[in-house]
């Protein structure tokens, strides 16, 4: 908890890059996606995955998939200590092998500020790599009074058009993230977007929407798809 609090002090919750301030993200050329996907029925063997896509075309420029042995135990609220070291290593390999393809922003399968102590995996990875990071989760982490109750479900149903969104405001009064919905293939399942590092929430949401061909933003969809295949083999 102490280490988490120390690292959290370094989180920057605002835009720091020129491309972030442009309405069309002019200057953004490379978007990364990272994930750790476990072998089915095995919580110690996983595939650490990194992809880098071109922007705005969203074509794969670089991919790195490596099977890893996860030894740290799972403790709720401290997932990053179990997973982030492998993702940092993947980014370090990229810097050594293809530094020109280093992503300008990372989409992380998980949460950022939407976390019991405001320091989820996207914040943790962002601080350690000093890269702009955005948390993108498929399920609501119920913190600070946020619950997946009937009111929350009704708000999701009220998102009429793909790309509609609403803020997640905790009982503390702070906005912890945004709920976004892309109506694809008759599915209206939401995404929970939160700030990781060096990006504001509005920019994070705009970028995630711009990376969606389907429900899941392309950098994360690609990394999960390939990671799952590697895990099977």
Residue-by-residue DSSP string for 123-144: HHHHHHHT--EEEEESS----T
pLDDT tens per residue across span 70-92: 988 888 788 889 999 999 999 99
* Residue 108 near residue 136, CB atoms below 8 Å: yes
Q: Give 181's pLDDT tier (boundaries 50, 70, 90).
A: confident
Q: Which domains does the chain have, with CATH numbers?
A: 2-231 (3.30.2170.10)
Beta-bridge mates of residue 29: none
- CA–CA gap between residue 177 and residue 195 (Å, rounded): 7
pLDDT of the residue at 90: 97
The residues that bridge with 6 in the sheet, in sequence order, are: none
Examine the pLDDT at 105 and tell me if it is beyond 60: yes
Beta bridge partners of 32: 52, 106
**Average pLDDT for 144-168:** 83
Per-residue pLDDT, averaged over 156-177, amounts to 84
Pick the closest to residue 137 from 205, 190, 212 (CA basis): 190
Q: Are strands 105-109 and 30-38 parallel, antiparallel or unpaired?
A: parallel
Integer Cα distance of 85 and 128 in angstroms:
9
Average pLDDT of the segment spanning 29-58: 94
Q: Residue 72: what pLDDT?
A: 85
pTM of the model: 0.93
The pLDDT of 200-221, averaged and rounded, is: 94
219 pLDDT exceeds 60? yes
pLDDT band at 184 (very low <50, low <70, confident <90, very high): low
Q: What is the mean pLDDT of residues 188-207?
A: 94
Give the percent of the chain with pLDDT over 90: 70
Longest CA span, the chain = 49
Query: Which one is predicted more confidently, 229 or 64?
Result: 64
For position 20, what pLDDT does the model report?
98
How big is the chain, counted in residues? Answer: 233
Please list the residues that pair with 164 across neighbouring strands: 181
């Amino acid at each position: 908890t102490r280490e988490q609090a120390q690292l959290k002090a370094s989180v920057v919750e605002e835009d720091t890059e020129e491309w972030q301030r442009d309405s069309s993200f002019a200057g953004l050329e490379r978007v990364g996606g990272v994930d750790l996907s476990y072998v089915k029925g095995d919580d110690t063997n996983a595939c650490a995955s990194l992809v880098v896509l071109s922007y705005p075309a969203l074509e794969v420029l670089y991919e790195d998939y490596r099977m890893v042995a996860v030894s740290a135990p799972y403790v709720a609220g401290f997932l990053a200590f179990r997973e982030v070291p492998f993702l940092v290593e993947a980014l370090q390999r990229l810097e050594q092998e293809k530094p020109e393809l280093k992503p300008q922003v990372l989409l992380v399968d998980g949460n950022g500020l939407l976390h019991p102590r405001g320091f989820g995996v996207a914040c943790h990875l962002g601080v350690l790599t000093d890269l702009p990071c955005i948390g993108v989760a498929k399920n609501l982490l119920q913190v600070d009074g946020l619950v997946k109750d009937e009111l929350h479900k009704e708000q999701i149903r009220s998102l009429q058009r793909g790309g509609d969104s609403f803020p997640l405001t905790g009982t503390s009064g702070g906005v912890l993230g945004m709920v976004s919905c892309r109506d694809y293939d008759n599915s209206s399942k939401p995404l929970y977007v939160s700030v990781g590092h060096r990006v504001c929430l509005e920019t994070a949401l705009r970028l995630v929407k711009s990376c969606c061909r389907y429900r899941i933003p392309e950098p994360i969809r690609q990394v999960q798809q390939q990671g799952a295949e590697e895990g099977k083999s």
